[in-house]
Structure 1
């Protein structure tokens, strides 16, 4: 048989290799993922430091532009309270050369946010209210001691409404009052003229020089101030996850996806003094491209780590399983009946020990098989013997017949010449001979009663197992002399056991000496158990019969004493005085003669009732009307209570219904006599058919006694429970009607099926 992939070598390789491969794969995966995580953390940290440094430099550059505005903001004459419009205009013109880098224009706002002066680029804004600008409100809230520049988000304050950002410097009086502010604007546009402006070239050149795939600067609302991709300048990127995180946290980094669904690593930092954020992005696939070679190396190492152990394990598994295969093949040969297989193994390990034990087992199987058929035949014979003995002893409950059949069959099976069977009387410890086979009558007289202690069965009953006894070892006695005269040489005593106790013994004898094997002794012990159980059952059956006979005798004696004897005694008393009474008073004598006649008829009825009880089949055979008449006459003779009968003599009911009606009538009459204190009883039996041709039988027993309340009496009192059970057993209906002082009526109605036997 070839196992293929299900073979033991494959399983061994799988058991060792699969867990190893899983563990190594997990280690490689964790290592690679750790490498990627470390790479991500390092890139984020590096770019974060760069963006923070760049943000600081950008803040310093912006401060220089704020410094240019601070001189203009500090000139008090530019504010309305200090100068006229011509003066302010002159001051603006004088400062144009210095402030020309503000390509979006320069404006001066008074303390209320009104544009009071502007250069030529924003001249149209003069007089406008810019108090709603966020950077104007921020300027008003700056410290009075040290004004700080303010920076705006992208707005439409440039020339002709162009997008721009503003840098403003607040101005305060000596007393710290807010006078207004001066603001320079830079245009924000993707156009080349803007991107080539001094502001873009000077301020954002460092951003262009910074590494990374993308670098951009967004204001506090997420709009792009600068982007390495110029066409995106001015775009609103507030929906990007990176921008959202940057505007919330201000500084940090993360790994995410951009709007093109590319995986990126982003770092960001806030420009000090502003709400602006510098963001750098690098594509993740570019970052980890150097790790591709490392990943391939890991895969190669993993493959070698799996392959080399697999080869080693495979070679070892083949060396280990080769003897096992030889064992399997040898076992298959043994299973096919070819015993004596020998497997040479010299591995000096458990396999060699297994092969050695297999060789021993094979040799023993070869030896055992030689005698197996004989043992099977012997065992089959033993089982057949036990089955035969069981069949023999189960045919009867008569002790003599059981022992004789068992002894005869056992002598035949054991091929003995003679045998005897005894019953043990435990009270006297005496063995009583029940039957014998192949022995003379002299033996029967000699061994009729043997003390247990003086017989060969003494030892066997004590140990509960058969024993072999030579006749020469018997104690000197007449029994030994008789056995020797019979020519017997040996005997086997078999105890008959029941529930661990001896109930008798079988003795088997042979005229020639023979060896009795252990198997034969075991068989005889089983026969002793089987026969002992049958003897015990026969004994219990005898006891049950004796008990039943005794109980029946006592019942008959009690019934004769209570009924017939009392009636006959009364009749005898009347017969003694009747002659003398007739001479003195013939009329009274005639009455007593009639009473004597009633007593004798009642005694006859009582005797017939007892005969019916002795032969229960008579209840089913006799007509119900005759049975009820005998019952009533016996009742009248015993109690002197008149019973009026109205009987349908042709009422032929099924036997079970007839018996139930009879027993109910019997119980009702007895209850009337015991409890009712009645003067008259009426018993009626009617049989009819209803309109559906179904037979109907009705039995009524009425008395004029004291009655009772049926609701106050349980169904088990006064025999009512027994009567109700008898009625339900034959599907009849029992009704009881009574009331205190109004007598009692018991009615039983039975309705049969169509075509039921019911003669009328």
Structure 2
């Protein structure tokens, strides 16, 4: 309630009432001074207070209406400015404001329109730079493949090799305890099964990165469908896809989006333990919208964002195209990734 009465509209009403109060005091003092000094026959105390009461009543109604009307018009214009800022924050730089009043607010609106044009030009420059980088990346494909192999080799050494070592240790211990302590051996075999499942999941995620870096001429929707079909054959995850046909986007955007989806699925395989994954792509208002969600374990976004190589890569690829990257997650409530890319 206090926040509501602090709005511009009620500030105008308060200023009108303040003016009414001052004019009421001045007029009352003037009439009383005339009555005391000159004592005209036509002016009486009763007449003064009757006139002041009627004046106050009429002026109160006029002040409230004028303040409400003037403050309301100003509030609507500020609301338009706020909506424009929200549009810019969401990556919609084509939105424009049109005011005819010619005052300071119109000047601010024109400056915001100029800012939108500058941001739109910047997005085009970023996408042009992304196209140039994509061409350079294709020319240096062998170097990229070597770097990818080295990174996967490090992942194999850090994750899978350690898990296989633990698998061998548990197996040897179980064999030794099989005759003397069968219950302990059973427990250790359960650990073996758990470690084997984790190694299998990690290997699938690594194999996902071994796919070609580029779509190799395929459209984005077919590349994602092929990727999901391969994963469905090797996992128990239920994939739900919503992909439009004939997306009118550049080859660079297709490749970046494909790699973002690939990275997101690798993270899901490794960490989420999800049973359902949703991938949605849509075109709206000259924007490409990408949504990826799962019903897995979830995580603390603030802690994981700093440490996760995959999240950093997805965010960097989005920003290279002038887009926005948002991720929401909490423990045991799944993960939601939303990306907007201007087209």
Higher normalized contact order (CA 8 Å, seq sep 6+, divided by chain length)? 2
With structure 1 as the length reference, what TM-score do the two structures score?
0.18
With structure 2 as the length reference, what TM-score do the two structures score?
0.39
The structure carrying a bigger strand percent of its residues is 1
The structure carrying a bigger helix percent of its residues is 2
Larger radius of gyration: 1
